[in-house]
Structure 1
């Protein structure tokens, strides 16, 4: 009789222990597939080593500091590309982020804004000087304002009043150790919902202008995500990546 009683207790425990464990330790039973729209806890991953298959001429190899990404996502410089950062999950490509680097002679508009705020290209940039950083921020803000004006004009010419278009309020951010601006715009469908979205970061070291861009459903061939939900998930991680870039370059 005692042995039968013990068998009954054992059977009950076999049922209750997994249930209790699932309640106390839910992460052990969570299926870690492709993330949903909820942003997961960031996972720090190191910049790929030189032994990886990444093309060493990719400028992201030099710019990328520590990276932050959702669980099961990978963020590495794209192989065979000079200026693209590849975002993938379990071997499936999700999107790319492009960086374009302009010298001042190739961007006279920004050079004009630097002159307007009192930054001379003939003198060495004092990147740690708060006064220089303040002037640089004003020049970047003026450059973004020009970009917004151009975006708005292009949109009105192409779409007239057939779709809603809105720019995001520019935000002052750190891009590496440099002052920068986060900006972008969105185009809405006539019946609601996002049709296109652009997210960009811009900064300068006084010699070069760095523009980092990604988008959704754009006409661009690079620097884009095909799925809006994936771009939404990645946005806060891109902010962290921008903040940890190796800028200014050594």
Structure 2
């Protein structure tokens, strides 16, 4: 009630155009009547268009409204491309081929929506010729002028000469759209994975009658299947183990005992 009263007290007009909780226009009513209606229905009376004549108010749950607004703001910030600052180091002795390679590297950063800072570091006697580094940075800016704008012209900071470039509006918009498409694709994959995991396992119904003893009758395993005739005594005839072989073995053992 205290939060609702605080919101209601913001309304300074005597009459307001009221919209109920379902989005239906009630019409122009006095502020007192609107407050009483909000309290009876358990909603807050919130002024949504203070500059209108008369001001427009709605009946809604203010806590839920603020939560949804903050959620939308978080989603908007998430979809925006957060630009980063990439730094590329150069030397006064960097040749033209390496300079072109550095420029191509900077193009990748710019197309991704990031800013690029070129740093030319001078050492020793190189400080006597800062114009060399300035010409290098101007040449780089010329190579990138189609996709970048110069945010900071070559500036000497101690022994470092710096140039800051940023993607132009067209490139930045394209990078943001690519980021949104990537996020949407990631959400689609996540949703697909969730749907795949949420599928209920297939249950196989087993009839209880199949597990009863009646279906496994003793007749299925008849003793006739293992007839004694299959293991005839003739297969294990004593002739296969002749006594002569055993006698010869015994004689050999006695001969060895005598020798020992």
Classify the TM-score, shorter chain.
Answer: under 0.3
- Structure possessing the higher relative contact order (Cα contacts under 8 Å, 6 or more residues apart): 1
The structure with the largest helix share of the pair is 2
> Larger Rg: 1 or 2?
2
Give me the TM-score of the superposition, normalised by structure 2. Answer: 0.22
The structure with the largest strand share of the pair is 1
Give me the TM-score of the superposition, normalised by structure 1. Answer: 0.23
